[in-house]
A and B are shown apart, each in its own frame.
Chain A
Amino acid sequence: MRRTGNATALAVAFFFSAAAFAADPNLCAACHGENGNSANPAVPSLAQQPAQFIATSLFMFREGNRKDDQMTPMAKPLKNPEMNELAAYFSKQKAAAPSHKSKPESVEAGAGLAKKYNCSQCHGPRMLGQQHIPRIAGQQYEYLRTQLRAFKAQTRADIDGNMTAAIQAVPVQDLETLADYLAGLGGE
């Protein structure tokens, strides 16, 4: 399985270098990991994220809605078509199995909370994301915690305000359970 993934990545990388795009996915891989599968708990995985979500995130970094010391300068020079190319590339990479192991008690509780707080209404029944809404199954643990807390504090922009509004009903201790549950959730 893993070998197939690498072979595809190599082929795609070759295609990209041959076409010499200004937006080079290899630059992203330095932090986001090979094929967009992050090995750093604080950095999100991009593999198999919906393309519209990736493009929207890059857009928000460039426009200043989202701010991050690393990402803001990376997004600054990118034009919209380049953002679309990067988004298409990473959306087609295969997501690796999650490295995070959820606490046993978080698994059942997390599934219940995901239902209770309507997470699946937008993120989908298996949390794989769709359209402008991210895949959160198997996303990096520290990254999920930071984002959830920031949404709660209303300091993390989302394009239509729906996530900021949805999370206001969720107490902080439930955010912890959700992050632990989601980070260990396999996609397939």
Chain B
Amino acid sequence: MKTLIAVAVTAALALPAQAQQTPAPSWQQGKPAAQSESTLHPFAPHMTGRSAKDLPVSSLKVPAGFKVEVWAEGIPEARSMALGDKGTLFVSNRNAKNVYAVLSSGGKREVKTVLTGQDSPNGIVFRKGTLYVAERGKITRYDGIEGKLDSPGPGKVVIENLDPHRAAGHFWKYLAMGPDGKLYFNIGAPGNIVLPSYMEASIMRVDPNKGTLETVAIGVRNSVGMDFDPKTKDLWFTNHARDWLGDDSPNDTLHRVAAKSPVPHFGYPFCHQGNTLDPEYGKNRSCGEFAKPSQLLGTHIAPLGMKFYNGKMFPAEYQGNIFIAMHGSWNRTVKQGYNVMRVKVDENGKASKPMPFLTGFMTDEKADPPMWGRPVDILVMRDGSMLVSDDYNGIIYRVSYAAPAGKKK
């Protein structure tokens, strides 16, 4: 009885505090009451990695003539990839704090941890002897790093204060080097569906020599993959749409920003996929005021790294295609993604519907978890083969092509 009274008293005292509800976790924010008992939850990678020999790697599928194999393993939470001038493959982390170097010699691969203690160093890109690393709050350059992998030093900061609030949200970064020599990256939205503040929900670029920041696009919820069309120099990027509007809405998207374009607004948080007003923020707005995506990629499919293919190995049909790593859905009762898809781009810059390229990571679309691996980033090697990273297991796969005997590709 005494306990009951105590509980009642504390509860009464706590009422004002409860009245001003603390915000929901960023991934749950925006979840309607109707879905309050949903058992959908985000997946987390196996941080200690898993060995390829314990996984159904032989169930991976690629089109006829292509081959997929394990290229390297033992790279915990392998996220973004960047290729050094001397052939070092750099691999980043998002939840963990390292950047790794994978060295190849005689068909064997050695994994070395080169940077530690980083704050979500998801974005990495290599250009002319320098590795650039984008953490949550800053971008650092490591000049001549391939010559000093054992002691790369502290690097030089290109820009900082990119994450002043230090709060939860989509603030890990993807990093790409533009044809203009500037570093392009995302600053995501602070929650699932919220009004972003200054600099949030955007694509930005910075001149690595001057440190000058410019806005490239706004109304972008979270992009974790971008590349430049080698012919037109246009920027293309993938974007994750909001969650909790059901299994089939809205689509994750592929976007294009023409070189020298004025800054487009792609609609977040008011309008999704170019044609769907947000039930809350879209009231009294029109999708007509926003720039449209180039292609719808699938709902909750989670497009991450993307690359234009211009290697000399794959057949003509694949030349100039955009390959996209689909990390796979969690906010969907029937799962989709967990594959690599390709999109064809015509001479007018129109993108085709996505077509599956590398599949077999998903084993049961209704299971929890539905998959044994999750593609994150794509990198085209100098011989034209393609690497695909998998953060769920810490494995990198290689896709290659050999024309059938007697047939030219």
Contact at A122–B96, with CB atoms within 8 Å? no
* B50 within 8 A of partner (CB): yes
A8 interface hit (Cβ, 8 Å): no
* Residues on B with beta carbons closer than 8 Å to the beta carbon of A159: 44, 47, 95
A63 within 8 A of B: yes
Chain A binder among B15-23, B211-219, B232-240: B15-23
Q: Enumerate chain B residues within 8 angstroms of A103, measured Cβ to Cβ.
A: 3
- Are A80 and B95 in contact (CB-based, < 8 A)? no
Tell me whether A121 and B38 are in contact (CB under 8 A): yes
Determine if A169 is an interface residue (Cβ-Cβ < 8 Å): yes
Question: Does A68 sit within 8 A of B, measured CB to CB?
Answer: no
The proximity string for A residues 79-118 relative to B, scoring 1 for CB distances below 8 Å and 0 otherwise, is 0110110010000000000000001010000000001001
Whether the pair B48, A55 counts as a contact (CB closer than 8 A) is yes
Instruction: Find out whether the CB atom of B46 lies under 8 angstroms from the CB atom of A55.
Output: yes
A77 shortest CB reach to chain B, Å: 14
Chain A contacts for B95, CB-based, 8 A: 159-160
Interface: A130 (CB within 8 A): yes
Q: Whole-angstrom distance from the CB of B44 to the nearest CB of chain A?
A: 4
Highest count of chain B CB atoms <10 Å: which of A124, A160, A166, A168: A160
Contact A56 B48 (CB under 8 A): yes
Asked if B168 and A165 make an inter-chain contact with CB atoms under 8 angstroms apart, the answer reads: yes
Contact call B10/A63, Cβ cutoff below 8 A? no
Q: Does A4 contact B (CB under 8 A)?
A: no
Which one of B24, B44, B74 contacts A169 once the chains associate, using CB atoms below 8 Å? B24
A108 smallest CB distance to B (angstroms): 12
Contacting A at CB under 8 A, from B10-63, are 10-11, 14, 17-18, 21-28, 36-44, 46-51
Contacts A105-B3, A162-B42 known; A173 to B48 CB distance under 8 Å?
Answer: no
- Could you tell me the distance between the alpha carbons of A130 and B38 in the complex, rounded to whole angstroms? 15
Whether B7 is near chain A, meaning CB under 8 Å from some CB there, is yes
Q: Which of B18, B21, B41 has the most A CB atoms < 10 Å from its CB?
A: B41
Q: Which listed residue, A56, A115, A122, A131, touches B369 by the CB 8 Å rule?
A: A131
Cross-chain contact A173 with B41 (CB below 8 angstroms): no
Chain A residues with CB under 8 A of B11: 173
**Closest A-chain residue to B41, C-beta based?**
A122
> Nearest chain A CB to B173's CB is how many angstroms away?
16
How far is A169 from B40 in the complex, measured between Cα atoms in Å? 19
Contact of A146 with B by CB under 8 A = no
Number of interface residues of B (CB under 8 A): 39
State the CA gap A105–B7 with chains docked (Å).
10
Main secondary structure of the interface of B (DSSP, over half): loop
Also in contact, A120 and B48, with CB within 8 A (given A161-B168, A171-B18): no
Residue numbers in B under 8 Å from A144 (CB-CB): none
Tell whether, in the assembled complex, residue B22 and residue A168 are in contact, meaning their CB atoms are under 8 Å apart: yes
Tell me the dominant secondary structure on chain A's binding face.
helix
**A48 CA to B21 CA in the complex, in Å?**
35
Taking a contact as CB atoms under 8 Å apart, the answer to whether B168 and A58 are in contact is no
A80 to B45, CA, bound (A): 13
Contacts of B368 in A (CB 8 A): 130-131
Interface membership of B97, Cβ < 8 A: yes
A58 contacts B18, CB within 8 Å? Answer: no
Residue in chain B with minimal CB distance to A87? B48
- Measured between beta carbons, the chain A residues less than 8 angstroms from B10 are 173
Asked if A132 CB lies within 8 Å of chain B CBs, one says yes
Q: Which residue of A lies closest to B17 (CB)?
A: A171
In the complex the two chains form, what is the Cα distance from A55 to B45 in whole Å?
A: 11
Whether B76 sits at the interface, judged by CB under 8 Å, is yes
What residue in chain A is nearest B6 (Cβ atoms)?
A: A173
Quick check: is B4 within 8 A (CB to CB) of the other chain?
Answer: yes
Tell whether A83 pairs with B48 under 8 Å between CB atoms, given A121-B38, A166-B28.
yes
**Cβ of A52 under 8 Å from chain B:** yes
Measured between alpha carbons, how far is A84 from B369 in the docked complex, in Å?
Answer: 18
Contacts of B25 in A (CB 8 A): 161-162, 165-166, 168
Q: Given contacts A118-B36, A159-B95, are A131 and B43 in contact (CB under 8 A)?
A: yes
A117 to chain B, nearest CB (A): 10
- Residues from 118 to 139 in A contacting B, C-beta threshold 8 Å: 118, 120-122, 124-125, 130-133
Contacts A84-B50, A115-B37 aside, 12 further interface pairs with beta carbons under 8 A come to A80-B76, A84-B48, A105-B7, A121-B40, A159-B95, A160-B42, A162-B41, A165-B25, A168-B23, A169-B22, A171-B14, A173-B7
Identify 10 residue pairs between A and B in the complex whose beta-carbon atoms are under 8 Å apart, listed by A's number: A56-B44, A56-B46, A84-B48, A121-B38, A159-B47, A160-B44, A162-B41, A165-B168, A166-B28, A171-B14
| Residues of A bordering B, CB below 8 Å | 52, 55-56, 58-60, 63, 80-81, 83-84, 87, 103, 105, 115, 118, 120-122, 124-125, 130-133, 159-162, 164-166, 168-169, 171, 173
